[in-house]
Amino acid sequence: MAVRSGNEDIALTVERQAAARRLLADPLVTARSHPEDFALVRTHSDWLVQRFQRVLGYRLTVAADHARLVKTGLVDAVATPLTRASGAHFTPRAYTYLALALAALAEAPARLPLSRLAEDVRAAAEEAGLDLDPRDRMSERRGFVAALRHLIRWGAITERGGALADYVTDPAEEVWFGVDHEVARLVLAHPPHSAPDPPAFTAAVRGDTASDDAGAAELTVRRLLAETAVVYRADLDERRRERLGHHQWRAVAELGELLGCDAEIRAEGVALVMPDDGASDARGADRPAAFPSADPVGRTALVLIGRLAAELGPSAGPAHAVDVPADLLGAELAEVAGADAQRRWSRTALSHLPDAEDLADRVLDLLLRTRLMDRGGPPGEGAPFEGWRLLAAAARYAAPAAGGGSARDGSEERR
């Protein structure tokens, strides 16, 4: 009888947890989009299927060339927007083109020219009562191409000839795609079905999160911990706050066994700290945010949050937040997103160098998604820096009070 050594057991656990982190960050993993990660998922599929179902109530399906993790619940609480290559969030128009393209792909041939896909999308829009045509003007094509780039990243379509970038400026430019109908079908974890209105549909997708059952409440808490950068007790309703207080240690232990993460449990709330590996580094702006990160937006955000935390000292206790004066936020952003930040961008392989305003927007969006800052209400007209609050978790990145040092690097930790 073969006996496994302790090192082999450790290696097996590390592999399983790395595969789980990849699926949590990218719920649709294909042999084409992530060949090494998919091989790992396939190897440990039985363990992953069982653990995701038990710990988070998520259904994992692993096929010959793809894996799909279907998440239930937390529709509103952890939704993150899709982004274009520039970092800008998808507009409603881009989301509409994504939905129309998926509808058109359902009956598309395996080899598909972009001209036919554009025509099919126009026809689907007309059927839905929408005045949209990607061939109409450049602004329409930009939204259409943004949707197609995400379908390429997900593996639903593959470029076989031509260049999408050329199509944006010239609608006569032909691009050929290979279509993976099975992956295209799986892009929507919860395909539209009969419902009286959108809130009713999202309520059905949310599943058992509204249940008064104690087990369902505990499951919701585990999902919040896994999908949210920081869970603040003050943000939870009484039932979930009580459930978190009673079961936080067991919850983080189970999530640690699944994901290989550590946790920080404090009076203000709980945060998971993910290992610094490829699964976390690969997360884009439409995935759970990693912080700190080595890219220029992440480094700039780290400097900003360190300076604000040192200046304001986010409060502890139930309030867990302190208001950030608009003039202070504007001044600090102007300094950290200025010339030095532009030099950091210039050392990257990116072709687009954002201006100071663009960089500031990305930095604030990152800090919002990582729950280090939030907005107390909608921004006022012409007042982009009003309404911001510094949250308690920002204190861990505060710059030293003396010695002129900067906020600690923290590169070994991922939220």
Please check whether residue 42 is in contact with residue 86, taking contact to mean a CB–CB distance below 8 angstroms: no
Name the 3-class secondary structure at 271.
strand
Q: What pLDDT does 6 receive? A: 61
- DSSP H or E run through 262: strand 262-265
Q: What pLDDT does 75 receive? A: 57
Please check whether residue 52 is in contact with residue 40, taking contact to mean a CB–CB distance below 8 angstroms: no
Q: What pLDDT does 180 receive? A: 92
Q: Where are the domains of the chain?
A: 6-70, 92-186, 211-275, 289-397
Its CATH class, for the domain covering 92-186, is mainly alpha
Measured CA to CA, the distance from residue 17 to residue 11 in angstroms comes to 10
Measured CA to CA, the distance from residue 152 to residue 180 in angstroms comes to 10
Instruction: Name the pTM for this structure.
Output: 0.80
- DSSP H or E run through 222: helix 214-227
Q: What is the DSSP string of 283-319?
A: --TTSPPPSS-SSHHHHHHHHHHHHHHHHH----SSS
Amino acid identity, residue 185?
A: R
- pLDDT beneath 70, residues of the chain: 1-6, 74-79, 87, 205-214, 276-289, 314-319, 339-355, 377-382, 400-415
Q: Given phi > 0 = left and psi -120 to 50 = alpha, else beta, which region is 386?
A: beta
